[in-house]
Amino acid sequence: MKEHEIIKKILNGDSRAFSLLVELHQSKAMTLALRILENREDAEEALQDAFLRVFRALCSFEGKANFSTWFYRIVYNVCVSALEKRGTVSLQPLNSDDTEIHIISEISSPDEILQENEDTKLIYREIERLPVEYSSILTLFFVQQLRYDEITQVTGMPLGTVKTRLFRGRMMLREAVSKRLQEDIA
Position 33 in a domain? yes
> What type of residue sits at position 126?
E
Task: Write the CATH number for 17.
Answer: 1.10.1740.10
Position 99 in a domain? no
Position 162 in a domain? yes
Position 94 in a domain? no
Position 18 in a domain? yes
Distance CA 131, CA 129 (A): 7
Kindly state whether residues 80 and 135 are assigned to the same domain: no
Position 141 in a domain? yes
The string of pLDDT tens digits covering residues 116-130 is 556 677 788 888 889
Distance CA 56, CA 36 (A): 24
The string of pLDDT tens digits covering residues 23-67 is 999 998 998 888 888 888 999 999 999 999 998 888 888 877 788
Q: State the pLDDT at residue 167.
A: 92
Range of 157's domain? 110-185
Structural domains in the chain (count): 2
- C-beta of residue 76 within 8 angstroms of C-beta of residue 36: yes
Kindly state whether residues 64 and 10 are assigned to the same domain: yes
- C-beta of residue 170 within 8 angstroms of C-beta of residue 138: yes
